[in-house]
Amino acid sequence: MRRTNRFLASFGPDVELIRPHLREVTLAAGQVLCEPGDRIRKVYFLHSGVVSKLTVFEDGTEIECALVGREGAVGALSALGLQWAVTRDICHLRVQAHVCDAARLQDAARASETIHAALDRYCAWKMSYAIRNGACNARHPVEQRLCRWLLTCSDVLEEPEIRLPQDVFAKMLGVQRTSVNPILQRLRADGLIELGRSRLTLKDRQGLIARTCECYEAMIAAEDTVASERQSASITRFEARGTSAA
* Per-residue pLDDT tens over the stretch 10-47: 999 999 999 999 999 999 999 999 999 999 999 999 99
Same-domain check for residues 4 and 96:
yes
The reply to whether 127 falls in a domain is no
CATH number at residue 152: 1.10.10.10
Whether the predicted pLDDT of 175 surpasses 80: yes
d(CA 118, CA 35): 25
The answer on 186 and 89 residing in a single domain is: no
Tens-digit pLDDT profile for residues 201-214: 999 999 999 999 99
Total domains in the chain come to 2
Entry pTM: 0.87
Count of C-beta atoms within a 10 Å radius of residue 186: 13
User: Same domain, yes or no, for 105 and 150?
Assistant: no
Domain with residue 101: its CATH number is 2.60.120.10
User: Same structural domain for residues 165 and 101?
Assistant: no
Residues 107 and 157 grouped into a single domain = no
Do 101 and 63 share a structural domain? Answer: yes
> Among residues 49, 78, 113, which one ends one of the domains?
113
Structural domain includes residue 187 = yes
81 with 171, same domain?
no
Tens-digit pLDDT profile for residues 67-85: 999 999 999 999 988 899 9
Close Cβ partners of 68 (under 8 Å, ≥ 6 residues apart): 46, 50, 51, 52, 53, 74, 89, 156
What range does the domain containing 156 cover?
A: 139-214
State phi, psi for 43 to the nearest 5 degrees.
-120, 130
SS3 content of the chain, % helix, strand, coil (to 5): 50, 25, 30
For residues 97 and 33, membership in a common domain is answered with yes
Residue in 65, 78, 75 with CA at minimum distance from that of residue 219: 65
In a domain, 109, yes or no: yes
Q: Quick check: 186 and 83 in contact, CB under 8 A?
A: no
One domain, residues 89 and 10: yes
